[in-house]
């Protein structure tokens, strides 16, 4: 065990993280000399002998079993193509119409529909296959989509879903966070939707600073009137 950086420290691509018998986790690679190095800008996380780097930015790369929010971009026969905020297009194959009829559920999709789906298969060589078979999956009617940095989705959900539960308690039940960085929301009034967007932007901007959920709680309690630095963190 020889971590050369502090846990939770910001590291950069190529930075030496550890020598010795630690396991390389996500966004960590082993160099020619057997040392562990980061491949991204992110936060170091050491747990159970495994070093990983939690990325701070990046596009969504599909992984099997991920729950994603997609927007229908094309319908061709029983194939539905979905924009899943990724370099790849989501492919949803609808069951043959007879089987569909037998299961008693009619599924029709048109361009612009918002769909909650699960990644069934993805090999990198062809577009990811999605499915809507499963509890809670399928079309999401109405509502709007807020686009967030996909790298921050785990922060928006939080440890044991703590953050998303907090948002749902304070703002409304109809918030669905896709692993791909599309957040679907249906609320009664504009205020709540603005408040949610503010909360999401706060998480995006400040997730690398400890005490995030306290700050999100403060924002939600203070309501839309709460003062929040408006500036993008990148305007240095």
Spatial separation of the C-alpha atoms in residues 1 and 53, rounded to whole Å: 17
CA angle 44, 86, 135 (to 5 degrees): 90
Measured in whole angstroms, how far is the alpha carbon of residue 79 from the centre of its chain? 25
Q: Say how many residues touch other proteins, by CB under 8 A.
A: 37
Three-state DSSP state, 41: coil
Cβ 6 to other proteins, closest distance in Å? 14
Q: Can residue 50 be called a binding residue for other proteins (CB under 8 A)?
A: no
Q: Which is nearer to other proteins, 59 or 93 (CB)?
A: 59
Torsion of the alpha carbons at 76, 130, 158 and 142, rounded to the nearest 10: 30
Q: Is 215 helix (H, G, I), strand (E, B) or coil?
A: helix
Instruction: Check residue 234 for interaction with other proteins (CB under 8 A).
Output: yes
Kindly identify the residues of this chain, within the stretch 135-194, that bind other proteins according to CB under 8 A. 151
Per CB under 8 A, the list member of 7, 20, 49, 59 interacting with other proteins is 59
Instruction: Return the number of the residue (15 or 193) whose C-beta is nearest other proteins.
Output: 15
φ and ψ of 100, to 5 deg: -60, -40
Sheet holding 144-147, edge to edge: 144-147, 182-185, 175-177
Query: Taking CB under 8 A as the rule, does residue 89 contact other proteins?
Result: yes
Question: Residue 145 is inside which H or E element, if any?
Answer: strand 144-147
Residue from 25, 27, 129, 181 touching other proteins (CB under 8 A): that is 27
Span of 30-38, 63-71, 170-178, 181-189 interacting with other proteins by CB under 8 A: 30-38
Contact residues toward other proteins (CB under 8 A) are: 10, 12-15, 27, 29, 31-32, 37, 39-41, 55-59, 61, 87-89, 124-126, 151, 205-206, 208-209, 211, 215, 229, 232-234, 236
């Amino acid at each position: 065990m020889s971590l050369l950086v502090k846990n939770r420290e910001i590291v950069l691509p190529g930075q030496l993280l550890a020598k010795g018998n630690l396991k390389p986790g996500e966004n960590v690679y082993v160099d020619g000399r057997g040392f562990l190095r980061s491949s991204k800008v992110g936060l170091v996380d050491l747990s159970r002998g495994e070093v990983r780097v939690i990325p701070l930015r990046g596009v969504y790369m599909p992984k099997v079993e991920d729950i994603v929010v997609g927007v229908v971009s094309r319908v061709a026969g029983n194939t539905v193509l979905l924009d899943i905020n990724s370099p790849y297009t989501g492919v949803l194959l609808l069951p043959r119409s007879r089987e569909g009829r037998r299961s008693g559920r009619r599924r029709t999709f048109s361009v612009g529909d918002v769909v909650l789906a699960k990644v069934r298969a993805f090999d990198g060589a062809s577009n990811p296959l999605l499915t809507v078979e499963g509890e809670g999956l399928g079309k999401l009617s109405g509502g709007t989509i807020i686009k967030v940095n996909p790298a921050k989705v785990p922060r928006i959900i939080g440890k044991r879903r703590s953050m998303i539960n907090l948002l749902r308690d304070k703002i409304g039940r109809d918030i669905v966070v896709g692993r791909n960085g599309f957040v679907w929301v249906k609320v009664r009034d504009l205020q709540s939707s603005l408040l949610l967007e503010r909360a999401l932007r706060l998480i995006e901007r400040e997730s690398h600073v400890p005490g995030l959920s306290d700050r999100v709680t403060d924002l939600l309690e203070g309501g839309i009137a709460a003062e929040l630095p408006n500036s993008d963190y990148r305007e240095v």
